[in-house]
A and B are shown apart, each in its own frame.
Chain A
Amino acid sequence: MLKILKYSFYDLMRSRWSYVYFLFYLILGFVLLFLNNDVDKAVITLMNIIIVLTPLIGTIFGVMYYYDSKEFTELLLALPINRRKIFMGQYLGISISLTLSLLLGLGIPFVLYGIFKSAAIFNFSLLLVVGTFLNFIFVALSYNIALSTENKIKGFGYAILMWLFLAVIYDGIFLIFLVVFNSYPLDKFSLIATMFNPIDLSRILILLKLDISALLGYTGAVFRKFFGTNFGMLISMGVLVLWVFLPVVRMNLKLRKKDF
């Protein structure tokens, strides 16, 4: 598996898009820091970008890599390698290379700015941790979609829809529910509804840490009331781990019966 990981990683590291992605974060980091001149504010702006953008890029890279390397995967499948290891290697290769673009792209400007001397270091690290989680989650989800969809165009469509649903539509539906059923106690409902969306969960996780009540919103407030700041963070972190784990399990189950 490590060998496959290594080659997928090298292959992606040489693709132009990895650099575009890296440069984007690099420029974003510099611009935010030197225009804002305030690390805390930069972290909040970054959060808003990261929780929408990393899922999108993870989704697109995931499906793109799967369909682009389909024939090559077939060649690997004919070699004496367990097929589970091939796909796990590819999955980790994509996730790690995307994560590296994120970490380096944002890390460099922040380190140059002097993040290590600032109190915002923990907030910033949490941001990177959440970004990493989102990469692993959305690459896994998009790989699931690609594995289940033979047609490339359809696969792309479903993957983008999945992202759109979790990033935008989900919140809309959630809000409608809150408005329509506002005469009922909605604490538990909103808690559970948040767990089912990794993007919402990430947002709450960061906002709990940043401790900005104004941005916390309804679910965030319920979250804090219910679990407290530390326990709430622990819970949301745990659920994020589940969000990585479950799609990976389903990927392995799908692989057992998949024809190539």
Chain B
Amino acid sequence: MIEFKNLHKRFGKLIVLDGLDLEINKGGIFAILGPNGSGKTTLIKCLLGMVIPNKGEITFDKNSVLGKWTYRNNLNYLPQIANFPPNLTVIELINMVKNLRPKASNEQELIELFGLKPFLDKKLGNLSGGTNQKVNILLAFMFDSDLIVLDEPTNGLDPIALIHLKEMIQKEKEKGKTILITTHIMSFVDEVADEIVFLLDGKIYFKGTVEALKKQMNNDNLEHAIANLIAKQYA
């Protein structure tokens, strides 16, 4: 479904992606992991067309995405930091995103699920961090798209919202969607992810199932297995 070929990206002298090759097939939950600054967000932003790679090719459903924008109609994105226009109310923001993206949406169901009803007429500037993140998640899940990209989705969520989020991810997976997640919370990965993509120094260091990784690292605990993976590199 998505293919990255020989992707290079540098910011000034800092090389973030260094000839990265990656293929992601349709259906399933993929966790993109790696230490801080390993290029996870850059990789995702390249796919979204927000960061323009220096070299390489990205295809989405066999079509090149570089310099295009229509392909984004078939993907949903949850950004890492939710910072909305402070003067708009929640319902206005939802309507605005709907208006900008003429596509079927199920926001009512999600408003119920996250208990956002009392906040609909509040201004976004007055919401707490967690409520902001709920709005953020709602915007990312209300459209029906084949690809869902989640950048640190668990930020600031209370336990109930977290359970709902996991349920939603599972539900989308059952519908045959492809879901890309970046996170630092290993228990979350262990619970939801089918496959792990481990990034290090701008390259793919490991790609495979959670089980395969545990086996390869000889460790039953994912957190330690990942730590071993990073430690090996430092050694």
Contacts and interface: CB of A to CB of B under 8 A. Distances in A.
Contacts, number: 66
A10 B11 CA distance: 35
| Chain B interface residue bracket vs A | 20 to 34
B159 interface: no
Contacts of B71: 80
A177 interface: no
B77 A78 contact: yes
B84 to A, nearest CB: 6
Given A11-B88, A15-B87, A72-B85, A81 B79 contact: no
B101 A79 contact: yes
B83 A70 contact: yes
A83 B69 contact: yes
Given A74-B50, A75-B139, A78-B72, A69 B79 contact: no
Nearest to B99: A3
B36 interface: no
Interface residues of A, dominant DSSP:
helix
Interface in A1-17: 3-4, 7, 10-11, 14-15
A44 to B, nearest CB: 37
Interface in B145-204: none
| Chain A interface residue bracket vs B | 20 to 34
A83 B88 CA distance: 22
Contact of B83 (A4, A15, A72, A80): A72
A211 interface: no
A15 B70 CA distance: 33
Interface string A62-82: 000000011110111111111
Contacts of B84: 71-72, 75
Interface of B: 11, 45, 48-52, 69-73, 75, 77, 79, 81-85, 87-88, 96-97, 99-101, 139
Q: List the 6 closest pairs (A to B, CB-CB), nearest first.
A: A71-B83, A78-B77, A80-B73, A80-B72, A14-B87, A260-B50
10 contacts: A3-B100, A10-B88, A69-B85, A70-B83, A71-B82, A77-B49, A78-B79, A80-B69, A80-B73, A260-B51
